[in-house]
Structure 1
Amino acid sequence: MLQGDHFSALDLTRVPAVDRNQGGGARRALVVASEVGGLSGCENDADAMASLLRANRFDVVRLGGATATRAGILAAYDRLVRDSRPGDAAVVFFAGHGGLVPGEPELRFIQPTDIDDSTEDDFRGVLAEELSVLQWRLSLRTANVTTILDCCFSGRMSRDWPSAGLKARARDGKWPPGGIEARRRAAAEEFRRLRAAHPRAEWYDANPHAVRVLACGQGQLAHERRSPRFGRVHGLLTAALVAELTDAPDRTWQDVADRVRLGVLNLNPSQRPEVEGPVDRVVFTEDTDAVVPTLPVSVDLLTGQARVDGAFLHGLDSGDELLLVPVERGAERLRAKVGVVSGGSAYLTVEGDAAVPEGVIARRVGPRRSKQVVRVDSRSGPPPVDLVAALAEVAEVSPDGGTTGLLATVVVAEGRYRLDDAEGRALHADWRPLDGLGLGRLRREVGHLVTAARLRDLSLRADEDGFDAPVELAVTVVGGRPWSPEDPVVHVGERLRIRVRNDAESGKPVYANVVDLGVGGRVTILNSAEPAGVELFAGTGRPLGADPGGHEPGLPLTWPRGLPAGSARFETVLAVFSDSPQDLRGLTQDGVGHRGRPRSASEELAELLRPGRRDLGGGDPAAVRFVIRNLTFLLCPGGDACAH
């Protein structure tokens, strides 16, 4: 560790996690402006954000100029951590330059006002790894954490946007490699100590308690320009975010992200803001609101043809009805149907041949049915009509025992039911009542099995011929235990290391979403730190779930609590590669065996219909191309089930 440095001198394991069940309610914010390297809007950003936060009852600590040094930022962040309690709200905002040190891995950092005072032994930037440690410490104190970064973590040269008056918030420099490496090692050590001190707080790939609002993607530049609304120079993200939170303060972060992203992309198509973490939260609270199920819509500016890319991912077919909803508030909604599905896209026919405006999302009208077959085995007379009707909303129902395309069997006896898989193995040990809640749960879980089966069957169905880059999904067992790619077997308690790679020699980046299709139909998006896809430049690969410092603990394999453990079952890791960012978080679902509260019919249906999202605005995007790689393995729960 470097002596005398505020960050590396801290003993992070002495900052205890606080019982989340205690009271609280204070609101605190740290707002930092580092206006160096020719920037002129950072102080304006900090003023605007501080005013917004004070209007929302936050106590604001404002740093700028001589107080926004590395030591000043770290000391203020540390005070925020120590002052926070359960139920409190904490916000950290930074406006300034970002930087990047190329290499394996790339190192990103924010630039405090004393960045130019760096020496070989004393790097004055704050690494992303250091920010991750601080954010985890903060989320151990309170789960209501929001981080907003209006900067760029890339040192690449700015694209040419002089006519728009844009200035990049990225700055190259000759940064001291020895000082940077010392900071990286210190952050890695602190992160390992935190993991050891708080083993039950372990998380994979990204902190699940913190909302992170980022100005751009990992390989993009953030920009500033004069804001017509505010009459001063502002970062594109901050201007759009402050305006949106002023006009609609009680929205979810997902709603805010959709509108902010549209506004920024319309000004600069090369800058895509992102919101990560629990995006269903109402801003600056822990309250959640159902994220409205939507589908991504693109419009050809020459022909006006509207389409939904990735139709195979979202299960769209000819005749499906959609409601087209403009992101802009108050705009007219349109009704449409899927006409044809071609080249991986669903092309829409709009009612009345109305023109589809820019910035539109789509919602399904009516439930989505599948061609997957569910058999009903009624052992006490004809199957109940309401049971058959509930299943028919999400699958084909076969009461005669047919097995073609069989997905599952519902066994009915004496007013109760049990759900079995296609091989006749029970998916839950208990017999459940055929009341309204039981039928709602059955419909939801069968819908989850349908979605998981559809995703598992995708494999190479995407148009690989049109996908330019050779890509790879690599999965290995932590510890070096050999396994056969032809017949891989792993056990509960083991961990998998997952890497994705773009083997192209040149060309545009590709984006990888990695999906875990669990043994009970659970669907989890594993790239939570980059929800629009892990950005892979030509000739590069990236691990998932790497800790600061490069350690890869791997994805822990678990067994759903409510799923019988009498036999091993298949699990699949699926990598969806695309040639533009794609947010597939809408595919996430609990699956069978997850113990949660009963849901209303509307909640269950919303769960079944939640899709992914795509950028809105920013010109006329070409149809997105996909290619898929997967690996299916046998997961053994332990005991006699693993006698192989």
Structure 2
Amino acid sequence: MTRRALLLGSATYGLQGVDNDIDQMEDVLTARGFDQAMITTCTGKDATYHGMTDALRQLCRDAQQGDTVVVYYSGHGALTDGLQYLVPVDVEESTADDFRGLLGAELTEVFRRLTEKTPNTTCVLDCCHAGALVRGPGRLRLKSRSLPGLPMAAAHERAARIGGTDLELVPHLVRLTASQQAESAYEAPVDGDGGRVRGLFTDALAALLRDPRTGGLPWTVLLRRVRDRVKQTSDQWPDAGGEAGRLPFSLDVPRQPELLPLERVHGRFRVPGGQVLGLGAGDVLSVVFPDDTPHEEAAEDRTLTVRGEVRGLDGADALVDLEPEPAGLRTAQLPPGAYAVPVRLHDRRRVHLDAALPRAYAAALRAQVASCPRLALADSADDAFATVLPGAGGGAVVHLWDRLPARTPLPATPEAVRDLTALLETLARGERLRALGDPDDGQRLEASVEVRAERQPGTGDGWEPLAPRGATLHPGDRYRLTVTHDGDQVLYAWIVAVGLSGRTELVTNDQPSGVRLRARGSGHDTTVCLGPVRLFWPDDVPKEGPRPETVHLLVGNRPVDFTPLVSRGARERARRQPDHPLRHLLDELWDGAREHRRDQEAQRDRELHYRVLSLHALMRPLDRA
């Protein structure tokens, strides 16, 4: 098992920090156990289209099952004539028969080949694809590029041969991107380093990966800290998608408490989207402020934890009072990566423990459930959403309110209590989200949005309309949602699915902070197709049905990271389903019209308002015949 990395750096159109980015990533990877002999760089005059594609092909040939693979890119991205691509150093040598941009569709196919060999693959992109070149504020230099005048016929022909924009997203891949799909990335001189220019995203990511205090944190947590650091300097929004619940450069998914995002706006602490995440007045949180002192200067980890209480809602955001509020935080910036952990919530699902369970097992389970913020004990099965009963083979089985078994039997041993409690938490989250609907007027988004839902039978026949309620689905069917926005403001969309197993999944987790819906008059298409998504029957759920399958489309007025909605078990779906479409890389890199910086900041400062459009279907395990 070898650790391999390919570092691509294309310094074009005035970028000054690309080589520094490459050097920094090489140092970080070496410190993380990558052999320098297995780190390949393609920079300078070698970073041509053919130089970069040859390096990617060689990586695909060399990679073996069990390897750890990283592909990193620093440079410009571009959007021209509806196609998105990275910008090699020879892009201006493109001819009518030879386009020299590296298309997003080509990257998709590279990562598909890599993940077929090894799922432990990470893609890091420090670039952005802007519709037009916009000068950055102050010392910041934009890492996006618009290149009008290039001969695009060859690019369109190549994209069509690969599959155009209909390619499904690569499963298993961890995707770390410097900004949202419709915004920009920057480079700037770094204070305290002789004024060397670096990408803001790369510099923040490298600093955290070098810090020994972050050794046990998954990508999702690290990228939240990266985002907060970068936002102190610019308006870009780094994100982590795909299998980002893993530890860096690993397939391991650590057990983590439910981490809720935290912001401070106009002096008030708030959890953005807290209502969607299940928060309400009176809920108790543990608010954590990580130590952001550079690790070379920090004698120890001085993370601060404070009790917080939800005092109410501002739109759909939960307002949090700290008790007491640390004096040092009243005027200082919020420490990067601050978060909240639920301690006691008002919306708890009740669990009944059958009297026939082994006594020691029931006692241990009772103690675990009582300490869980989203669960409570019920006196009878009639008052419970789930009941734990003895299994026929000596284990324990969970039945939901519909009395269908939720899982095959689990061992009825005290050691298995933690796993069973995690399962009950997953089911509780799923039951809560399944009932999600439009909020009250104070939180509801008033916007013109149309949605067309369609399904494709597993037989591969054409697409047909999907009724919002009561449709019957089967394993192998696919669905997609086409969203059209006809308003004057930029909106964001998420698909949240609650499967027949009770697991919740953020289907749009390649863009967990929201898929951008462009405003009318932006000069770009205001229709976005989300999907297709293939349905399957999980191996650990008894094939008895029908069982409910729920899909929610959330549309909001600002970006919010809804990663906390994901069940821990949802990631297993991508591992078992090789063609699981989380959306493909080309869509991640798509860029539309970019609003003025102040407009973006005002949008992020406003409270979240949202609406929900839902599909409620039934999944049947039987063949149609």
2:10 is matched with: 34
In the TM superposition, what is the alpha-carbon distance from 1:429 to its structure 2 partner? 5.3
1:74 is matched with: 53
Gapped regions of structure 1 (runs ≥ 5): 1-23, 193-204, 546-553, 596-616
In the TM superposition, what is the alpha-carbon distance from 1:481 to its structure 2 partner? 4.3
| SS of match in other structure, 2:209 | helix
- What do residues 280-331 of structure 1 show as CA deviations (whole Å, max 9, x unaligned)? 3333344443345321122133xx2212232222222333222222244335
* AA matched with 2:322: V
Distance verdict in 2 for CA 1:493–1:343, change over 3 Å: same
Q: Is the 8 A contact 2:178 2:237 kept in 1?
A: yes
Higher alpha-carbon deviation: 378-387 or 134-143:
378-387
| SS of match in other structure, 2:271 | strand
The question of 1:311 aligning with 2:274 is answered: yes
1:579 is matched with: 557
Where do 1:22-171 residues align within 5 Å?
A: 24-25=1-2, 27-55=3-31, 56-59=34-37, 60-102=39-81, 106-158=82-134, 161-171=136-146
- What do residues 415-447 of structure 1 show as CA deviations (whole Å, max 9, x unaligned)? 8654322233333454x5643245444433332
| SS of match in other structure, 1:627 | strand
| SS of match in other structure, 2:138 | helix
| SS of match in other structure, 1:124 | coil
Distance 2:356 2:122 in 1: 54
Which residue, out of 510, 533, 536, partners 1:529? 510
- What do residues 166-222 of structure 1 show as CA deviations (whole Å, max 9, x unaligned)? 344323322223111112012228998xxxxxxxxxxxx533332222121111111
Q: Is the 8 A contact 1:29 1:58 kept in 2?
A: no
| SS of match in other structure, 1:74 | helix
- What do residues 114-163 of structure 1 show as CA deviations (whole Å, max 9, x unaligned)? 100112221110111101111111222333322222211223342x5443
Q: Is the 8 A contact 1:115 1:123 kept in 2?
A: yes
| SS of match in other structure, 2:220 | helix
* AA matched with 1:556: R
Distance 2:254 2:388 in 1: 32
In the TM superposition, what is the alpha-carbon distance from 1:557 to its structure 2 partner? 1.6
1:362 is matched with: 339
Distance 1:631 1:190 in 2: 25
Distance verdict in 2 for CA 1:464–1:560, change over 3 Å: farther
* AA matched with 2:219: W
Distance verdict in 2 for CA 1:228–1:542, change over 3 Å: same
Distance 2:40 2:219 in 1: 23
Distance verdict in 2 for CA 1:218–1:73, change over 3 Å: same
Distance 1:155 1:632 in 2: 38
2:499 is matched with: 518
Where do 1:339-358 residues align within 5 Å?
A: 339-341=311-313, 343-355=315-327, 356=329, 357-358=333-334
* AA matched with 2:67: D
2:580 is matched with: none
| SS of match in other structure, 1:80 | helix
Where do 1:86-485 residues align within 5 Å?
A: 86-102=65-81, 106-158=82-134, 161-188=136-163, 206-230=169-193, 231-248=195-212, 250=215, 251-269=217-235, 271-291=236-256, 293-301=258-266, 304-329=267-292, 330=302, 332-341=304-313, 343-355=315-327, 356=329, 357-359=333-335, 361-364=338-341, 366=343, 368=345, 370-375=347-352, 378=355, 388-392=366-370, 393=372, 394-400=374-380, 402=382, 406-411=384-389, 417-428=396-407, 430=409, 434-461=412-439, 463=441, 467-478=445-456, 479-481=462-464, 484-485=467-468
The question of 1:637 aligning with 2:613 is answered: no
Distance 2:115 2:63 in 1: 9
* AA matched with 2:132: R
Distance verdict in 2 for CA 1:216–1:569, change over 3 Å: same
In the TM superposition, what is the alpha-carbon distance from 1:385 to its structure 2 partner? 5.3
Distance 2:258 2:95 in 1: 51
In the TM superposition, what is the alpha-carbon distance from 1:526 to its structure 2 partner? 0.9
Q: Is the 8 A contact 2:258 2:342 kept in 1?
A: no
| SS of match in other structure, 2:45 | helix
In the TM superposition, what is the alpha-carbon distance from 1:342 to its structure 2 partner? 5.0
In the TM superposition, what is the alpha-carbon distance from 1:527 to its structure 2 partner? 1.1
Higher alpha-carbon deviation: 214-223 or 375-384:
375-384
Distance verdict in 2 for CA 1:240–1:354, change over 3 Å: closer
Gapped regions of structure 2 (runs ≥ 5): 293-301, 457-461, 521-525, 574-599
- What do residues 585-627 of structure 1 show as CA deviations (whole Å, max 9, x unaligned)? 22222679x99xxxxxxxxxxxxxxxxxxxxx97982222222
2:296 is matched with: none
- What do residues 236-292 of structure 1 show as CA deviations (whole Å, max 9, x unaligned)? 2222223333334735323331222112111102x1112223223333344443345
| SS of match in other structure, 1:334 | strand
Which of the pair has the greater relative contact order for Cα pairs under 8 Å at 6+ separation? 2
- What do residues 348-385 of structure 1 show as CA deviations (whole Å, max 9, x unaligned)? 22112435451463333635564444455546999955
Distance verdict in 2 for CA 1:441–1:61, change over 3 Å: closer
Distance 2:158 2:440 in 1: 43
2:577 is matched with: none
In the TM superposition, what is the alpha-carbon distance from 1:68 to its structure 2 partner? 1.0
2:581 is matched with: none
* AA matched with 2:282: G
Distance 1:438 1:50 in 2: 42
Q: Is the 8 A contact 1:267 1:618 kept in 2?
A: no
* AA matched with 1:578: G
Distance 1:435 1:247 in 2: 39
Q: Is the 8 A contact 1:426 1:564 kept in 2?
A: yes
Distance 1:567 1:324 in 2: 42
Percent of residue pairs identical: 29
* AA matched with 1:152: C
* AA matched with 2:438: L
Q: Number of matched residues? A: 563
The question of 1:507 aligning with 2:489 is answered: yes
- What do residues 69-108 of structure 1 show as CA deviations (whole Å, max 9, x unaligned)? 1011111111111112223332222222111135xxx421
* AA matched with 1:298: E
| SS of match in other structure, 1:90 | strand
1:568 is matched with: 546
Distance 2:545 2:253 in 1: 37
Distance verdict in 2 for CA 1:358–1:565, change over 3 Å: same
Q: Is the 8 A contact 2:314 2:607 kept in 1?
A: no
| SS of match in other structure, 2:470 | coil
2:477 is matched with: 494
Higher alpha-carbon deviation: 519-528 or 391-400:
391-400
Which residue, out of 589, 610, 621, partners 1:626? 610
2:592 is matched with: none
* AA matched with 1:260: V
Distance 2:76 2:615 in 1: 40
Distance 1:521 1:638 in 2: 19
Distance 1:585 1:64 in 2: 34
Q: Is the 8 A contact 1:266 1:618 kept in 2?
A: no
Distance 1:131 1:39 in 2: 22
| SS of match in other structure, 1:628 | strand
Q: Is the 8 A contact 1:378 1:413 kept in 2?
A: no
Q: Is the 8 A contact 2:287 2:339 kept in 1?
A: yes
Q: Kindly report the root-mean-square deviation, in angstroms, between the aligned alpha carbons of the 2 structures.
A: 3.3
Distance verdict in 2 for CA 1:65–1:364, change over 3 Å: closer
Q: Is the 8 A contact 2:357 2:389 kept in 1?
A: no
Distance verdict in 2 for CA 1:282–1:563, change over 3 Å: closer
